[in-house]
Amino acid sequence: MSFLDHEYREIITKAVIGKGRKFVQDTNKITPTHKPSSILGCWIINHLYHAKRKGNGLVEVSGSYDVNVWYSYNDNTKTEVVTERVTYTDQIKLSVKDKQTLGDEAEVFAKVLQQPNCLECTIAGHDQKILAEVEREFLVEVIGDTKVTVKVDPSGVVVDDDDWDLELADDEFESLDPDFLDKDK
């Protein structure tokens, strides 16, 4: 590679300089007001999260969601919904890293591939808690400055805008319908 004879150029640009993905299953303990008899339903709402870079090869996604459990109590004669806020922190290792990264300034983007979702909800027999098994998955990308090298074509042609022939020929005018715009009226 020779930079002196101008065959190559180094270009600095923004690009994806790191990428990672992580699937997590957690079991969340929910404390009901009453001793549960049975679980009638479980759903997750109000998911919020943010991502930040932690070191060279790691992104941390921190977030929270509400676990809502509808359960019966008093020998299945009454029902109640218990809501509990759950917080989490996921460390996502970057599986793709650019070695040509310039500087430490980078933007981190996190995309939810699987919103928090309840897989199973059960009653823990020994302490009367409710166990909600939840799954979630994230894709993270780190965007930063990187350097690319391109080969310059020594016989390349530089095209000027004035070189384009954008004029209409006389025979192109003959095929135009002068009433085209008035047909819809």
pLDDT greater than 90 at residue 20: yes
Q: What are phi and psi of 172, to 5 degrees?
A: -75, -30
The alpha-carbon radius of gyration of the chain (Å, integer) is 30
Q: What is the mean pLDDT of residues 90-113?
A: 83
d(CA 163, CA 34): 82
Classify 55 as helix, strand or coil: coil
Higher pLDDT, 114 or 171: 114
pTM for this prediction: 0.72
Is residue 139 within 8 Å of residue 110, measured between CB atoms? yes
pLDDT greater than 60 at residue 135: yes
Which percentage of the chain shows pLDDT scores above 90?
54
Confidence of residue 183 (pLDDT cuts 50, 70, 90): low
Neighbouring-strand partners of residue 126: none
Both tokens of residue 8? 């190559």
- pLDDT at res. 140: 95
Q: What are phi and psi of 111, to 5 degrees?
A: -120, 130
d(CA 64, CA 61): 10
Q: What is the mean pLDDT of residues 173-183?
A: 69
Specify the pairing of strand 96-97 against strand 36-53: unpaired
Q: What is the rounded average pLDDT for all residues in the chain?
A: 86
- pLDDT at res. 6: 66
pLDDT greater than 90 at residue 85: yes
Q: Where are the beta strands (DSSP E) in 7-57?
A: 8-30, 36-53
